[in-house]
Each structure stands twice: as structure tokens, then as C-alpha cells.
Amino acid sequence: MRVNTFPNAKALALQVGIAKGLFARRGLTVELEFTESSKAQRDGLAAGKFQLAQGALDNAVAMIETGQQDVVILAGGDSGMNEFIVQGGIGSFAQLRGRTILVDAPDTAYALQVKKLMARSGVAGGDYTLKPAGASPFRFRAMAQDRSNAAAILNPPFTVEAKRIGMVSLGNTAALLGPYQGVGVFALRGWAEHNPDTLERYLAAYVEAVRWVRDPSHRAESVALLAREHKLEPEVAERTYDELTDPAFGFTPDARFDSEGFGNLLALRAEVEGNPAQTAPERYLDLRYYERAMLLIAK
């Protein structure tokens, strides 16, 4: 099966699942591929280019609400592990008035967090420029190469890399905005319904991979894998691992779904984009596969 995710350190759990044979132990061969942007991930899933997407769950909501795709959210993952990173010398959101802020896509996911934080700081949407630049590595690279790109929401390892070269964090977005269900697993509902056994085994193996990464006894091996797979210097890999396993910031234990965080995601989307969900949050979810996966692990 093919799984699509973003080229950042949060892919470590998937890479561990492959490298340590956790998927293979459950009879699965997983091909991991990286996406350039949220739009590319949404379009690829809709076209059936891969079976599962792991990314910002606001993209799943957007596929349902605006793309009219029958998508279902299957599990959680993390809060996004995002920080609002700015160029050195910028000390507040208000100082971004008249500046350029890089986003993946301007109408979904973490761009909505940008809009909320700017509005809360008294900076109207017309007083700054949102510039689509793709996934975190592209946003980080654009900021590093051109200081006129004043800010972006980034996640590990790019938050670590950014601070090393003089950029500054205005805070992590979950602390600034409250609980948020950032990343999770989603698929086309039809595929999930026709492949329940495969999906449950996949989710079981993924949970086992998250547990493996969060186990402190695997720190050295995880750091080495991060450094190799993401081409990181040892110090950056170590600091990145610490962020991935931070109890308040990193991987959610067992990739549990955060209902409060998802409610906040829907509320943020409704407030910022003006298109509230028409039904209860349960419309977007089917956690039965996850629950059966946890029973598989218990056995």
C-alpha cells in the first residue's frame, strides 16, 4: 500500500515502521512517498494515487466541504508540532504588518492559524501578504534564502534549523491557540470500507511505530535514523527527536484522536473562512478501524 505524507521529521514513525519491520510483521508492504504541498496531497488522494494520507486533518475537512470528496478521518497523530517562526529582529505579530508570510496553501490547515494569530494581534488580512510556498522544507528554504519572506509556520526539523541560523519563534501554535488536532490519517471512505482488515493492520503497526519512537531506550537509534533519512547534522537530529517526543508537543501517545482539538479545528475554520461545518464532527470521522486496531495490539 502507498502512504503519502509530508517531508518533515514527523515521518519518523512511518520510517521506523518500515525499517524495523513493524508493517511487515502485520503482513503489509508500505511504500512511503512525500508530497510537495497540501494541494498535491488532496489531489493525489482524490485521484487514487495512494491509499492513505497522513497530514493536516483540515485538508480532509476541506476535501469534504469544498472538494465534495467522500473522505474519512481514521486516526490522530499530533497537534502539528508547529511554531510561528520569524526572521531575526521581529519580536511580535504586529511587526509583520506589511510583510510577507509564507504558507503551504492559503485556505487550509496552518494558514488558518496564521490568519487567526494575526487578527488577534490587530493586523487585518489586507495588511500582510500570504504567499504559497509548499510544505515546510520549501517554506524554510525560502525564508533562509530571502529575508523579505518574514515568517512561516514550521515544524521539526525546520524549527530547529531555523533557530540555528538566527530566526526566532513567536511560540508554538497549540500553546497560542489551544488544543488542535493537527496531523492524522485519512482516506477515501470507499477504500476504507472495502479494505477494513488492511486498514486495521496498518493502524496497529503505525501505533506500534509511534510507541517505538517514544520509547527512551530507542533514542540513539531514532536519532541515527532521523539523521540518515532527513540528512540532518547529529545535533539537529538530537534536538528534533526531543521535540518529537516532548509529552506536551510531540507525537500523541498511540496516535489517539483529540476530539477537543478537532472541535477547535472546525471552529477555527468556521471563524476564519466563514464556512462552518453543516453537521456534527462525527460526520468526518470513522474511528472504528482504529479501535479494532488497538484490539489487535492488545492481542
Which CATH number does the domain housing residue 9 bear? 3.40.190.10
The residue out of 131, 155, 177 marking a domain boundary is 177
Residue 277 has pLDDT above 80, yes or no: no
Tell me: do 50 and 105 sit in the same domain. no
Half-sphere exposure of 241 (CA within 13 A, CB side): 23
Q: Measured between alpha carbons, how far is 283 from 277 in angstroms, rounded to an integer? A: 9
Q: Kindly report, residue by residue over 58-97, the tens digit of the pLDDT.
A: 999 999 988 789 999 999 999 999 999 999 999 999 999 9
* Residues 217 and 109 both lie in one domain: no
User: What is the band of 296 on the pLDDT scale with cuts at 50, 70, 90?
Assistant: very high
Looking at the fold, whether 43 and 132 belong to one and the same domain comes out as no
pLDDT at residue 276 is higher than 70:
no
Backbone φ, ψ for residue 207 (5° rounding):
-60, -40
Helix (H) / strand (E) element for 199: namely helix 196-214
Picking from 154, 177, 200, the residue at the C-terminal end of a domain is 177
Check whether residue 8 and residue 67 sit in a common domain.
yes
Query: 154 pairs with which residues across the strands?
Result: 83
Q: Residue with C-alpha cell 531575526?
A: 88
57 and 187 part of one domain: yes
Based on the fold, state whether residues 73 and 185 are members of the same structural domain.
Answer: yes
Q: 96 with 173, same domain?
A: yes
Q: What integer pLDDT is reported at residue 275 of this predicted model?
A: 63
Domain end position, chosen among 149, 177, 205: 177
Pair 195, 167 in one domain? no
59 with 187, same domain? yes
Residues 211 and 273 in one domain: yes
CA dihedral of 213, 217, 220, 225, whole degrees rounded to 10: -30
Q: If phi over 0 gives left and psi between -120 and 50 gives alpha, with beta otherwise, what is residue 231?
A: left
| CA dist., res. 81 & res. 219, Å (int) | 19
231: domain range? Answer: 2-80+180-298
Assess whether the previous peptide bond of 253 is cis (omega < 30° from 0).
no
- Residue-wise pLDDT for 1-29, tens only, equals 999 999 999 999 999 999 999 999 999 99
> Whole-number mean pLDDT of the chain?
95
Band of pLDDT at residue 247, cut at 50, 70 and 90: very high
Q: Are both 56 and 136 inside the same structural domain? A: no
Task: Count CA within 13 A, CB hemisphere, residue 195.
Answer: 16
pLDDT tens track for 101-130 = 999 988 877 999 999 999 999 999 899 999
Whole-number percent of the chain with pLDDT over 70: 98
Examine the domain organization and report whether 115 and 96 are in the same domain.
yes
Domain count, the chain: 2
